Structure formats: structure tokens, C-alpha cells
Structure 1
Amino acid sequence: MDSLSFPFLSVGLASLLVGAGVVLASGSATVARPRAVVFALLSLAGFLAGGLEVIAVPGSPGLLDPLLPWLEADALNAVPMIFFGCLTLFFLLLAPKRDSDGRQLAGMLIIAFATLLAFAGGNLVVMVVGWWLAGLPFLLGLFGPLRGQRLAQGFLLASCIALTAAVVLLHNIEIQDLSHASVLAFSLLILAVILRKGITPFHSWLVSGFEHGPLLPTALLFNGHLGALLIARSEAVALPLTARHALDILCMAALVTALITSLRGCVEKKPRRLLAYICVSQASFILAGLATANAQGVTGALLHWLVVAAASSGLICIVRVIEVRVRDAADPSEHLGLAVRAPRLATFFLICSLALAGLPGTLGYCAEDLLFHGSLESHPWLGITLLLATAFNAIHLIRLFGLLFLGVLPKHVIDIPDALPRERWPLAACIVFLIAGGLAPTVVIAWRAPAARAMTEAIGAKSAH
């Protein structure tokens, strides 16, 4: 296999790791944030250069990092690596001052390092290392007291153990072996995905993490979508029949999760908990689309991956910004009417909500259209379930918008600042991506089509065999 012209992936990962150490020693947010942003920009430049080198060569099987050959950029991970680098920068810029001391920013850089290491890993062993490291900042308490985070820590640890056991078994058997060890290995792999993605009945840790834990780091960890990456990697090889059956079961579990969490949101009033249910429901679409095994469904899932990451990050960051400025925002007893004082934040929130719900003219519409058509072609009930869950999620998003931004401004909310410049520009970039992608979807589809084609061809080859 050919190599990249420069060790871009090594540089990108090293920038994050060194940056975490430098920022950890910085202390105050005044010093820590600029340093974190600089190292995140260096990392993004490395992954951007490496990713573009792969994208520029259609049909490329992948390019190895010349310094660390167990790192690889290919059609599947090139775009997500670039996108997650942008997402890391997004969270660092929008983090409120109280969330921006050296320990917390260093923790977010470690999460980014671990997630991108898992993305770039050329084998499952590297991915396992990334999965373990991603939960390390939570286990070390870099985001404050561990109270309220125990449930999330337990599920993250269980997911890592399940994936480690699966990889150990897979390295001791042939991939096409139909023995009990093979069945157990792929069952553990699916279990790791279910635990990490918060598939029902294990979604409670994500809801608890959103409500009681550090919101922005939890959102950054969630939007890495490593569970979807693991499934996509598994489908990109000729899997044995037992694994395909396991993926079918995972698809059904994802559908149940999408519907149940969308219904569960009907009784939620706290913004954090409601966002958690919406995010889990929308992210379940990704797994369901990947399991359709047809080009439209897989392409839609890969596009929806980007939409969920961008739109949910915007929503979560805005909610956190509002929490810092309005004391009642965490559990409002009435409509807050904040659109009067913060019209820009209201506009950003509404557009992100509509894009996540699949409004025509946004990238969310294109992703869900492909996803629904692919689902209907594969399983008609699959498309119907996704449609119902999308409708409920759209209702919840509009309800949340009304709760935060509509109504009469409470008397105790005298004045709050609207979006600050460091908040305004990242949010504007997010909106431009969601709208421009919807107006020119062929460009974004072209980024993900090679990966979808490789996955469906591998599935077809397995089926023929």
C-alpha cells in the first residue's frame, strides 16, 4: 500500500497530545484557550492535508502514514477525521469561560486525540487503544468532581472491555471461521457498539452524562460516533454470515432506540435531558442506515453522521452558553423569551434544529432522503419507523426552541449578551455547512460515495460467496 507524502496523521495526533500537556500546565482560561486553539489548528491542518491527499485520488485503497504505518487515511475515515478536527476547534472556541480552565480544555484535547487515533487506526488494536483513551479524562476527573458521572464511566469501561475481548478473540481465529469463538467475538463487538452508542436499554448513561456530567466534553465524546465507525469498518470487509446476522439484530435495536427515545422526549422539560434523547434517537439512524446494505442507505447514513455531529454540536453549545448566562435555563419553569435579548443565538438554534429534523434546503434533508429511500428498499418497516422518529424529534426541537427563546422575557432576566464574536463565527460556519450542503448536496455526497460503494461491494461479495 502506498504512503502519504508526509506524516500528516502523526503530526495531527502529536499536536493534540503535546497540546494537552501544554494546556494542562496553563491553568487559567485566559492562557489555556488560545494555546488549545493553536494546537487544535495544527492538528486540523495535518488531518486536512492527509485527508485531501486521499480524496484527490478517487478509488484509492488508502494511504499509510510514513512515520507510523499503523495509521491510515482512506475513503472511509478521511472526511470524518477532517470533520472531527473542525468539531474539536468548534467546542474549544464555544466553551464558556467557566468550562475553559487548563484541566477541562486538556481533557477535550485528549478526547480528540483518542477519537482521531481510533479513526486513523489501520487495525482494530489501534481502535481499541483509542476507545480506552477517549474515556480517560472522565475517569481521571479532569472535568470536575466525579459525582454524577459514575454511570457514564461504568458504561464506557464496559464498552472498552467488550471491544478488547472481541479483538483478542478475532486475533486468535480466522475471520471466516464459523466456530463458536467467531460468533462470540462478533457478539462482543456488537455489544461494545450498543454500550458506546447508548442503544436501548443502555441509553441511560448518555442521558445521565448530558444532565449531570460536563456537557461539552460529553457531546464531543458522543459526536465521535466511534460505534458507527466500528460497524462501517466491519462492513468494509467480507464478513462471515454470522456477523451479518448480528448486524441485522443491531439494526433492529437501533430502530427501537430511535423510536423509544423520540417518544420518551415527549415528557421531558429539562433542555439537557431532551437534547440527550434527541441526539440518541438521531444517532441511531446512522447505525440503521449502515445495516441496510444498499448504496442509498449507507450513503445516507454516512451523510447523516456529519449532519448529526454538526447540528447537535451547535444546539448543545448554545444550550450551555444560555445556562451560563441565565440561571433558570437548566430547568426552566416557564418560557424564557430569550430571542428578545439574543436574536443571533435564537437564529442559530432554529437553523440547527431544522437541519437536524431534515428541513428541505439543508443537508439534513438530503441525508434523510437517502436514508429513507435506502431503508424502504431494504425493509419497508425500517423507513416507516425512521419517519415517525424524525417527526417526533422535530416536534421536540421546536418545543425546546419555544421554551428557550419564545414567550415573555422574565423580569429577573434584565440583560444578557448575544452571541460573542468567538461564538458567532464558529456557529455561522456550522450553519453555512448545513445550508450550503443542502443547496449543493452532490459535493458532499461525492465525499462519502466512495466509502459507501466500498462497503456495499464488500457486502455483495460476501453474499455472493
Structure 2
Amino acid sequence: MSNILTWIIFIPFLSGLFIALFCNNFWSRIVAFGASIFVAVLTVVMTLSFDPAGGMQFVDIISLVPMYGITYMVGVDGINIYLLLIVALFIPFLFFVIRRDERGFWANLLFIESGFLAVCSSLDLIFFYAGWEMMLLPIFVMVGLYGKSAKRAKAMLDMMYYAIFGSMIMLGAIIYLGVLHFEQFGFYSFALNDLANLNLSVMTERILFFSFMIAFVIKLPLFPFHMWLSRAYTYSPSVATFMLSAIASKVAIFAILRFVLPIFSLSFIEFSSYFVALGIFSMIYFGIIALRCDDFKTLLAFASASHLGLILAGVFSLDSIAMSGAIYQIIAHALTSGAMFLMVGIISAQLGTRKISQLGGIARKAPVFATLFAIMMLSSVGLPTTIGFVAELLILVGLFKTNLVYGIIATTSIVVGAVYMFVVFRKAILQSVGVVSDKFKEIRAAQMIAFGLVAVIIFVMGLYPKPFLNLVDNTVQSHYEKYIKSNLKGQE
């Protein structure tokens, strides 16, 4: 068990290399599916062995460049346990939903999985940065090779420009932290535990804090760093959009909790109210834009960004309940948003359009599909009994405790989200059958099973959240006591 996390991270990468070098199109899908199932089983075993009160677990450390303190260091606690589980379980799920035969596609998918698992496990900033960059390149390649839209190249280049801009600023901050550690302690280190002990001046901490946050708000994205969002999500193939929405955006939230809060605690507290306000504003702003969208995929892109604004508000609320809710909302958003993007991909593949104004009546042609989509949508808007309701409730409770005004505005903005989701469901799924929608066919049995399992998880985690929240509560409470509460008392 001591090396299980390393196996989980590198099995997809090695399998992807094997597929790219030795497999034909037929065997590539089989090998990729087998590797993803093996990783999923290992991740489930690791999760079942995880002790919620045990702190950082399954730690693996390998010194790579000792002279400069560059180390392979990974571990699992309540902050990333669900992210790892989401990545590991969602990849096999895609094999039931997507029909592709190209070996490059499946090899690339495994490279993406390995990058996500690496960045979500990292306890060292250099290794984190390597994973941060690695998870982008395969997505870029996938869009370029397997996307159908002629506008996909420009859309992904726009995304890469934004991402590289943020990443370069963050890399400079990471290197500076390593140099500061050398100056203060006599040796280079980029390990989280070492960097959390740095003595930073107020101005230095503020500059480094924002150097990290720029990269993360671009990845989410938040206003005003969202200009790449609609084009990248709209013109990417469904699987790439799924990866960006369900997983990549969550990595930024993870990184804030894992690195920013421990290393820059004072700046995190000092600017928390601004990021709560930015998150709530982004919720409303993206929700209003979604109301005006006619492209189904573009609407979901802005709906996704709106929910991520709520998650960020929960993270910066300075309340442990809202922080736990933010992590739970990460799971909820990954399940619902990811599934809806894939279902819109099915609509587009069958009908050749995603225009909401051209759709309608899909429920009559494919009642099972419509029912499953309705479940995802209802969880997205926070219907009681679903996971989305539990997550939103926890965040709102924390926001009301922190600031009454923030709580009221956040609650109102959730209503805006419910409005545009109900409107699009009525127009695209329920209303009378149009000429275009008349050709829509019910989804395959494998797709029914796959989306049905997601629906079951949505209700199970919504009806009985206690055992799932137990996995994160101890870590969140520990972070709150150590990095937030203690510093708030020091400011009194």
C-alpha cells in the first residue's frame, strides 16, 4: 500500500505509451479500458483504506535533484481523496459513452488521466507544476486531432495563451519560493511542509499570493479571465469539454486549498472577502450570459463557470462548513456538469446541431435519455435529495455565517441558475417535436447504464451525505484551525 498512489499515477502514462508504440486501433481501446479499470480498482481500494482522521496518507517520496530540492512527493488527505476518485472512475465511464477507434485518442486520454492524477496528488510545487502543464498538452492535442469544428484551433490557442500566461507567473513565484527557502534555511526545497515554514514579508506574501491566484482563476475561470471559456468549451470535442469542465477546473480549487492556504495564510485571509465577492459576481454574470445562449454547449459552459464561482466563494468564506461544502460541490459539479456535456455531445452527434431553438421534443423520442438528463439538471440546480442540494446548502450556511449580504446574494444567484436550466430543458427536451429532433434515437443500453450509475450516485450522496463528508471534514477542520482560525485570533 505504501506505493499504491505512485502506481495509480503512472499506470495510465505507461499504458498510453504502450498503446502509442505497439497497439493497433482494435487493441488500443481494449488495453486503455483495462488500464483504466485497474487504476479505478486501485483507487477504490485506496479510498476504502483511507483513515479520515489519519492526516496525510499513502505518501511516497523520491528525491530527484537533491542539490536543488526537486522531489517527487505525493500523498492523500481529505482535500484530494475525492478528486482522485473522480478522475479514476470517470475514465472507464467514458468507454461506455464514447465510440472511438483511433489508438492516438485512447493513448492521449490515458496521458490526460495521468496528468490529472499527478497534479491532484502532489505535495511538491515543482512536481505540481509539471503535472499542471502535462494535463493541458494532451487536451490541446486531442482537440487539434479529433475535434471537428474548423474554429477549434483558434479556440484552443486562446485557451493556451491564457493558461501559459498564468503558468509562467506561477512558475516564477515557485522558483522564488525555493530561493527564499535556501536563503532562510540553507537548502533548496519546494516541498509544501517546508515552504509553509517560510518567513515572508507582508508585501512579498501578497505578490506571491496573487502570482498563484492569477493562474488558478484563469483555469476556473472567473471574471475577467474567462474570455477563452466559451470558444474552448463550444468547439472542443465532447470528451475534451468533459475533461475541462468535470476535472481540470477543479484542480485550481484543489491547488488553492493545498498550496495557497498553507503558504500564504495571511494573504488568503486578507483578500478573502474580495474573492468571495468575485465568486458571487461571477455566478450572477455567467448566469445572465447563459440565459442568452442558443448553443446548448455554450450555455453549459457558462453554467459550469457560474457554479465554480459558488465553489470559490465557499473556499474563501473563512468557514469550515462552507469549505467542506465547496469540496462536496466539486463532486456534485463533476458528476452533473460532466454528464450533461456528454449528453449534449450525444444530441449533437445524432442531430448535427446544438441550437436550442432547433431542438425540442427529445423527451418523446427518447424518454430514458430525457429522464437521465432531468436528474443531472435537477442536481445542478440544487433540488433536495440530490448531491447538489447538500453541497449548495453547506456553502450557503457558511456564507450566511460569514456575511449576511453575501449569503443573500449567493442564494439569489442560485435562483438565476435554476431559471436558465429549467428554460433550456423546456425548450430543448420537452416542447413539441421539431423537424430536427424527430430523428433523435434513444441512447444505447451501455450509455443508459453509465448515466444511470451517475444518477444513482447523485441520489445516494444527496440522501445520505454523512459517510462521504466524513472523509473530508477532519482535513478541512484541521486546515481551518491551523491556517485560518489561529491567524484570525492573532489579528484580534
| TM-score normalized by the length of structure 1 | 0.92
Query: What is the one-letter code of the residue matched to 2:225?
Result: F
The alpha-carbon deviation at position 27 of structure 1 amounts to 5.4
Query: What is the one-letter code of the residue matched to 1:81?
Result: L
Question: Structure 1 stretch 172-181 or stretch 108-117: which is displaced more?
Answer: 172-181
Aligned residues with identical type, % of pairs: 18
**What is the SS of the residue equivalent to 2:239?**
helix
CA contact (8 A) 1:37 1:89 kept: yes
Which of 389, 395, 403 pairs up with 2:419? 395
Is 1:297 aligned with 2:292?
Answer: no
Question: Structure 1 stretch 66-75 or stretch 453-462: which is displaced more?
Answer: 66-75
For 1:234 and 1:150, how far apart are their aligned partners in 2? Answer: 28
For 1:441 and 1:103, how far apart are their aligned partners in 2? Answer: 39
Query: What is the one-letter code of the residue matched to 1:370?
Result: L
The alpha-carbon deviation at position 156 of structure 1 amounts to 2.0
What do residues 411-458 of structure 1 show as CA deviations (whole Å, max 9, x unaligned)?
A: 455544312122112211111111011111212221221222122112
Is 1:85 aligned with 2:110?
Answer: no
Aligned to 1:189: 212
Q: How does 1:336-351 map to 2 (within 5 A)?
A: 336-351=360-375
Query: What is the one-letter code of the residue matched to 2:122?
Result: G
Query: What is the one-letter code of the residue matched to 1:121?
Result: S
What do residues 339-369 of structure 1 show as CA deviations (whole Å, max 9, x unaligned)?
A: 1221111111100110111101111111111
The alpha-carbon deviation at position 387 of structure 1 amounts to 1.3
Is 1:331 aligned with 2:334?
Answer: no
Question: Structure 1 stretch 104-113 or stretch 292-301: which is displaced more?
Answer: 104-113
CA contact (8 A) 1:12 1:45 kept: no
RMSD, matched Cα: 2.2
Cα distance 1:408–1:57, how it changes in 2: closer, same or farther (>3 A)?
Answer: closer
Q: How does 1:31-430 map to 2 (within 5 A)?
A: 31-53=27-49, 55-56=50-51, 58-65=53-60, 70-95=73-98, 97=99, 101-140=102-141, 141-144=144-147, 146-173=153-180, 175-178=198-201, 180-224=203-247, 225-234=250-259, 237=262, 239-328=264-353, 330-411=354-435, 413-430=437-454
CA contact (8 A) 2:52 2:474 kept: no
CA contact (8 A) 2:209 2:264 kept: no
CA contact (8 A) 1:9 1:71 kept: yes
Query: What is the one-letter code of the residue matched to 2:119?
Result: A
Query: What is the one-letter code of the residue matched to 2:209?
Result: F
For 1:27 and 1:279, how far apart are their aligned partners in 2? Answer: 36
Aligned to 2:457: 433
For 2:368 and 2:439, how far apart are their aligned partners in 1? Answer: 15
The alpha-carbon deviation at position 24 of structure 1 amounts to 3.5
For 1:238 and 1:462, how far apart are their aligned partners in 2? Answer: 13
For 2:258 and 2:54, how far apart are their aligned partners in 1? Answer: 17
Query: What is the one-letter code of the residue matched to 1:79?
Result: Y
The alpha-carbon deviation at position 76 of structure 1 amounts to 1.7
CA contact (8 A) 2:59 2:74 kept: yes
For 2:104 and 2:474, how far apart are their aligned partners in 1? Answer: 39
For 1:151 and 1:235, how far apart are their aligned partners in 2? Answer: 26
For 1:238 and 1:129, how far apart are their aligned partners in 2? Answer: 19
**What is the SS of the residue equivalent to 2:30?**
helix
CA contact (8 A) 1:9 1:65 kept: yes
Question: Structure 1 stretch 192-201 or stretch 334-343: which is displaced more?
Answer: 334-343
For 2:277 and 2:488, how far apart are their aligned partners in 1? Answer: 20
For 1:195 and 1:247, how far apart are their aligned partners in 2? Answer: 18
For 1:165 and 1:48, how far apart are their aligned partners in 2? Answer: 36
The alpha-carbon deviation at position 236 of structure 1 amounts to 5.3
CA contact (8 A) 2:245 2:337 kept: no
CA contact (8 A) 1:6 1:66 kept: no
Aligned to 2:186: none
Query: What is the one-letter code of the residue matched to 2:256?
Result: I
For 2:487 and 2:263, how far apart are their aligned partners in 1? Answer: 5
What do residues 307-334 of structure 1 show as CA deviations (whole Å, max 9, x unaligned)?
A: 0011111111100011111123x22433
The alpha-carbon deviation at position 167 of structure 1 amounts to 1.2
For 2:458 and 2:203, how far apart are their aligned partners in 1? Answer: 45
Question: Structure 1 stretch 206-215 or stretch 310-319: which is displaced more?
Answer: 206-215
What are structure 2's unaligned runs of at least 5 residues?
64-71, 182-197
| TM-score normalized by the length of structure 2 | 0.87
For 1:43 and 1:159, how far apart are their aligned partners in 2? Answer: 31
Query: What is the one-letter code of the residue matched to 1:196?
Result: K
What do residues 163-222 of structure 1 show as CA deviations (whole Å, max 9, x unaligned)?
A: 212211222236331154332211100111111111101112121111112232132133
Cα distance 1:165–1:223, how it changes in 2: closer, same or farther (>3 A)?
Answer: farther
The alpha-carbon deviation at position 240 of structure 1 amounts to 4.2
The alpha-carbon deviation at position 374 of structure 1 amounts to 0.4
What are structure 1's unaligned runs of at least 5 residues?
none
CA contact (8 A) 1:114 1:133 kept: yes
Query: What is the one-letter code of the residue matched to 2:208?
Result: A
CA contact (8 A) 2:74 2:122 kept: yes
CA contact (8 A) 2:5 2:58 kept: no
